Amino acid sequence: MAIKKAHVITVTSVKGGTGKSTTVLNLAGVLSLRKQKTLILDLDLYSGAIAPSLNIDITTDLYRLINDMYMNRFDNIENYVCSYNEYIDIIPAPKDPRLANKIKNKYLSLVIKKASTRYDFILIDTTHSLSDINLLALDNSDLILYLVTNNLVDLKSMRSMVSIYKDMNKNNYRIIMNNSIDKNRSCFTNYDINNILGDNIDYTISSNFYQRNIDQYVIDGKILSLIYPQKYMVFEDIISDFLKEDK
């Protein structure tokens, strides 16, 4: 009998402020509607946004989990997660950011391995830096989603990443244009963007997704794709396409 192995999706970018955490949460919402048991792993170690966005009280975190592994005290992954609903669990970034640089990165692969037998999906939120722990996350991912904005610096930086992936003959990444960051900004056409990137945009988050009262949803700990699934179909498309390609 084959051992269950979760699908691992990492959401990242080449600069900050592109909507990574919001994308992770909306993907989790889609998976929850699909009744897929999902773990969100927050690797934004110094300023993790997942737990605050879900209004979850942090009773455990990634530092405690990895430190217990290091000290040989680990027993069960369920003892290190905070639950949002029946289908969504999270392992928050360190509650005390001073502990972030004490996390032993080499244990991340073991964390993913332990969680893989318990979940259908693992969603990883990262920072935009190519730190050791983020590189480990990318290496352990089945799908890597890059968030970009309609900004020349962002697009040129993403072009460098595209070149790296092509040099490595890797194609497990997709590029998402997030037009909801600033709905009034549209510097370049799709033709321009494709020429700058040397690649195509795979998905677009419409400017219509812009939420003026987003703070209220955060206060209430709400996931928008759970409340308005038809409005956030792009996240359903990402999951559907991935599962088709994974067959």
Question: Residues 44-100: pLDDT tens digits?
Answer: 999 899 999 999 999 999 999 999 999 999 989 999 999 999 999 999 999 999 999
The C-alpha R_g of the chain, in whole angstroms, comes to: 18
- φ, ψ of residue 132 to 5 degrees: the values are -60, -45
Sign of the C-alpha dihedral, residues 83, 87, 110, 13? negative
**3-class secondary structure per residue, 114-138:** HHHCCCCEEEEECCCCCCHHHHHHH
3-state helix, strand, coil in the chain (%, to 5): 45, 15, 40
Domains in the chain: ranges and CATH: 7-144+204-242 (3.40.50.300)
Q: How far is the C-alpha of 171 from the C-alpha of 148, rounded, in Å?
A: 17
More confidently predicted of 107 and 232: 107
What is the model's pLDDT at position 165? 93
The mean pLDDT of 138-153, rounded to a whole number, is: 94
Q: How far is the C-alpha of 170 from the C-alpha of 174, rounded, in Å?
A: 11
What is the model's pLDDT at position 28? 97
Taking all residues of the chain, what is their mean pLDDT, rounded to a whole number? Answer: 91
